[in-house]
Chain A
Amino acid sequence: MKGTAHFSATEGSELLPAEVLERLGSLDLIARTIVRGFISGAHRSPFLGSGEDFSRHRSYQQGDDVRRLDWRLYGRTDRLYVRLFQEDSNLQCFIAVDTSASMGFVGDGAVSKLRYAQFIAAALAHVMLRSGDAPGLAAFGADTSFIAPPRNRPGHLHDVLIGLEKLIPQGSGSASKALDEIGAALRRRGRVILLSDCLEADDGEALLGSVGRLRARGDEVIVVRIATRVELGEVATGPARYFDPETPKRTTPAVPDRDDGFQARVSAYYSRIQVGLEERGAEYLPITTDQPLVTALGAWLMARARREALPS
């Protein structure tokens, strides 16, 4: 029995909107709050892989698969330990955060897309470190910068959070280039989590190409698309000269309220991205900034844990 993966968000905390989290202050506290929201009822860590080579023991933590408990050791020491295998303990992860100017857009949300991405990155880093993985942090705007290399040691979360806090939205960049550089930085198979609005200048063709290359070498790719409902055309906005923050000189006089095709065109774009990613075996998680983080992230992690619990 692979075990039943079951996440149940703590009552109340799952409804915490971004503006409430923002008031908590430090990213560390925010990350813990988010994680406590969706991990408290979990029976299985969502990020544990399976390997053949035993690496070491680790104290049992809530969410660990009970199949990995070392019963013999329990018999000798009367304490619970889980067995960690080579892949589980050393899985290198990169959280790639899009810091281009468009991520500074707030829209109808309480925080900007970048701030929302920071929350997610902090929470995921927290979860991955708990799972024994080695999260790293990269950011890309005009250029790609590797802020924290993938590590799993005490204090690494602090480095990641400090790096996240320093991110500011500016410039215009390509996720494709960043993914290629991250792929080159990973010494072996790993996991890449892309936090971006996925608004690419070439309609995402290069992005899909890069994702395909990462997948071809066996990396796991998760694309978390962060957008606001204003951008998606789901919230009415009046007439103005609109401009993309990454190309501010080019304005479009328009009335989104009266542009019936606007929402459909945006939707079609993201659908193409989603289909392209899924065709390449990447995960696609669309999130809007008005969603409570615990709900948005928890649901996905629960589904992921359930999927991994199924026999392959």
Chain B
Amino acid sequence: MPDVKRSPRDHAVISALFPGFLAAGAALAIAPILLHLLARRPPDRQPLPTARFLRNDARTFLRLQRRPTDLVVLAMRVLFAVSLGAAFAGMTWTSPRDGRGHIVLLDAGAAAQADWDAAREIAAAELTATSSTGAGQSVVLAYGLDDGSRLVAAADLSALSRGTRPATAEDGLRALRSAALSETRWQRATVTWVTRPSWRAWSPGVGLLRPVLWPGHAALSLVPDAPASSGSGSEALLGAEPTAVPSAVDSVSMLVARVTDGSEDDPLWRALTALGVTVVAAGVPGRPDWIFVEAPSREVLAGLLDEARRGATVIASGRLSSGADIPWIPGGATESDRGGVILETGVTLYPATAAGGTPAPGARTVAVFENATPAATAVTLGEGCVVYFAASIYDPALSGGPEYPNLVDALGRACADDMGLDAPLDRGGLHALERSDLPDGVDLTEMAGEEGRPLGRWLILLALLLLTAEIGLTRVRRS
């Protein structure tokens, strides 16, 4: 059994979003303390030679004796100030965590599991395998069920029915995060994801959400399409060697591409030529199959979209203005640290300077960057297709590499591939879900600290109670 080192934060943690308010509350608490110290109080014993003529009035004396009551009132005032400051400071409470565990994340959505029996068997096998390693407790978390998601006991797994609606990868990630934080008390957790991810499970932006929702590696255990299908597990899709440059010359020899920018000496032009595509310059009459355009203006793009509706594939790249029928929502700052571009064939190109933005709803991902954010998206439009590449197609970092023609070919065939929504995710999509670059286990204590249980409303309630009690006690004392 691996040695589990206890984190220094292996205990309940109370944190504040705005510690300044806490400091302000503490400063405010000094006021009643100062008033208490400065206020005059009757000495406990007082000499008075005519004391024999005083009436022994212990009751009134005790009632007017301020110190015992003062301490309670003082404590209430101090606590009121501190709790008010703490309430505004956004205090959160994170319960202590211990040990480690393994979650078998089972996709139980209707569309995701072509072979539900196989999926349950794989989940049970994963459960058994991880339990036998002694790496801690293992649980099965099923998502996509009609009642949402829940932990399923091993004994109940065989009787578990899948949901009637398809579930997305994002559903699974959210269920995983929620269950890991609220259903378990582990300090660290690892995940095996039993799924057959199709494009139906993909949602725009899931690549960006993936490390946020679960900042660790999730080993994919892929369910076969059908009982008869060959190969199962991630090796089936992920283990294949990157394909060589397709023999596009044969398949696209009849294609005509129009390049609106550049000349014969440009890398794009040369790549298309290498693919056997007939390249024509802008202004040449005819109906090309592919139209490449770099950073088109809104007017230019509108004209090209009309051509797409008539059957052409418009491949736009670089900076883009927002508009309808475009598979991309521009926005955000340009980023350059997303890594290389990964094609569905597994080919990785050199890092390019990425444009900001996110995929438009309904767009499918054609390529991703190494950080799992989409690099190219496509959407069918009329009889044609609109493709957007979130970098410059003329970027020297890309065009200088030997795999550049593969990118050009993938972009041109983005809508031509016969891949419906039920088709399995490509290698880039799978990578986006698996994220083998992230650490194996996730520190749940750290993750929970980001979203500890908020104490604000309880602190405000406490402050109100203290205020009410202080007012009541003060009135009683004065009466």
Contact = CB atoms under 8 A, between A and B. Distances in A.
Contact of B51 (A197, A238, A242, A258): A242
Nearest to A265: B53
Interface in A239-256: 239-246, 248, 251-256
B35 interface: no
Nearest to B43: A240
Contact of B48 (A242, A261, A265): A242
A266 interface: yes
Contacts of A232: 50
A260 B223 CA distance: 95
A206 to B, nearest CB: 16
Contact of A259 (B44, B47, B57): B57
Contact of A244 (B51, B56, B64): B51
A199 B50 contact: yes
Nearest to B40: A238
A241 B49 contact: no
Given A238-B42, A238-B64, A239-B65, A231 B49 contact: yes
Interface of chain A, main secondary structure: mixed
Contact of B58 (A199, A244, A253, A261): A253
Contacts of B44: 240-241
Interface residues of A, number: 32
A243 B61 contact: no
A254 B49 contact: no
A259 B54 contact: yes
Interface in A198-233: 199, 230-233
Q: How extensive is the interface on chain B, given as a class?
A: 20 to 34
A258 B46 contact: no
Contact of B55 (A230, A237, A243, A262): A262
B60 interface: yes
Contacts of B50: 199, 231-233, 244, 262, 266
Contact of A239 (B42, B48, B52, B53): B42
Contact of B49 (A245, A253, A258, A265): A245
A254 B47 contact: no
B49 A240 contact: no
B419 interface: no
Contact of A251 (B45, B53, B62, B64): B45
A258 B54 CA distance: 10
A109 B58 CA distance: 28
A269 B45 contact: no
Given A243-B46, A254-B57, 8 more contacts: A105-B48, A240-B46, A243-B47, A252-B56, A253-B62, A254-B54, A262-B53, A265-B53
23 contacts: A105-B47, A105-B48, A197-B49, A231-B49, A231-B50, A233-B53, A237-B46, A242-B54, A243-B45, A243-B46, A243-B48, A243-B51, A246-B49, A251-B45, A252-B52, A252-B54, A253-B57, A253-B58, A254-B55, A256-B54, A259-B54, A259-B55, A266-B53
Interface of A: 102, 105, 197, 199, 230-233, 237-246, 248, 251-256, 258-259, 261-262, 265-266, 269
Interface of B: 42-58, 60-62, 64-65
